[in-house]
Amino acid sequence: MKKMKSFNIVLGLALSIVSCGSRAAEPVKKKTPPNILVVLCDDLGYADVGFNGSPDIITPELDKLANNGTIFTSAYVAHSFCGPSRAALMTGRYPHQVGVPFNLHSNSSEADADNMGIPTNEVFMPKALQKEGYYTSAIGKWHLGAAPKFHPNKRGFDNFYGFLGGGHNYFPSKYQKQYANQVNAGAKVIRDYILPLEHNGKEVKETEYITDALSREAANSIKVAAKNKKPFFIYLAYNAPHVPLEAKKEDMDVFPEIKDKDRKIYAGMVYALDRGVGKIVQTLKETNQFDNTIIVFLSDNGGNFDHGANNYPLKGTKGDTWEGGFRVPMFVHWPAKIQRGQIYKYPVSALDLYPTFLSLSKAKLPKNKTLAGKDLSKALFEGEDVYKEDMIYAVRYRHGYCDVAGRKGNLKVTRMGNEPWLLFDVEKDMGEKKNLGYRYPDKMKEMVGEIANWTQSFVKPLWYYSAMDELLWEEGRMPNFKETFEVNKLNQTASKK
């Protein structure tokens, strides 16, 4: 994959700007709660947006917002797969603490099982905002449970338009025909990706390319909130650029220099998303809500480099605990409060959105609710390192060992499967090329021990990928934490690398 010539410029700005003594923009005179728009992409690569230095994909609408807000160069999600990552965003807790560290199954019969969803005793973020008078909408991909009790309308969303599964085909003329053929053939199980979209529990016959349809519905939600004079919370969960790779010709034509087929389609999908954000911004301006709307943009996990994504300069891909698996592009834009042109280099997590939104909206923390993240207010307004000596974690279960990572400050420890533990300075070495474990074995051991202690908060998974996975768990061969967190004998091996 082609390297980014401009990335060093961005990183240089990050190192110089965020010690920032920059003054926050003037607050809005009228004390109205902010609108909140979360734009979540699916499998978007770290280097696949202009504001992160993409060498070949242009995202002009996103770049305008990013460059007039705060860009987070060290933003992480709570898991390297989409379902657990989204569960963390909605609950404000790591998926392992809720019992959902595995993705939901992809066919509709299993997804409808009564226990296949995020436990209903976990109060979702929109529920807390809804109680404060927010008009709440979920647009796009759900993937947090398809049974009635897990439906978005039951989890704090007044309005839902999209699909309940883990993905969807993009062209209605194609997937609707496939769906009709399977129904006519009497198929008992139909893959989520071709099911009809729904609006608040009722099937709809969509006519637009899915990304365009989701952008349209987000704009409609903004108009509804404006008409009813209510603040809004919109969770716009695009399935782009997740597979299947399907783009409109006119969007692919924007990139004549890209010759690789997958990359070209992928670029078209990202460009469609960017176009959509531009239309949403236009709607915000037309309804006089742009200045007091917090827009947060990020991906649910790292890009999948087997399907067109580029995570440079990060190592790794979707599904692992190298930086490329769970470090994502992110910005926050809020004209009424945030000074333009800030770059924040310190680590943050998607887990932080729940407490931050409650703080900024003055909403109350639900009773008996424990959150894992931090309030980012001081990061946004003062450039403060809100994690300081606290750690951000990632764990992916495998057979025998786990992929594990923990970042504290500029240091990160990671272990992939049965490989040795490694220690990196990811501020200086984003590509995780220079192992420091042999130089600082005590520091590595200390950080590994901290992660091991954190895993004591984990609960047994509510579902697994397969019956074999469940058997391995019952037999103690998954996650095998005793072997996973053993450091001493592996450090000798690591020192040779």
Residues marked active site are found at 82, 143
**Contact indicator for 225, 218 with CB cutoff of 8 Å:** no
- β-bridge pairing 197-199 and 202-204: antiparallel
Give the tokens for residue 410: 């500029």
Report the DSSP beta bridge partners of residue 139: 161, 236
Distances (CA, A) of 339 to 66, 85, 256: 11, 29, 36
Give the tokens for residue 202: 């009722």
Residues 6+ apart with CB under 8 A from 136: 126, 129, 130, 156, 157, 158, 159, 232, 233, 234, 235
Q: How far apart are CA 195 and CA 215, in angstroms?
A: 19
Report the DSSP beta bridge partners of residue 295: 37, 333
Amino acid letter, residue 81: F
Q: How far apart are CA 308 and CA 1, in angstroms?
A: 9
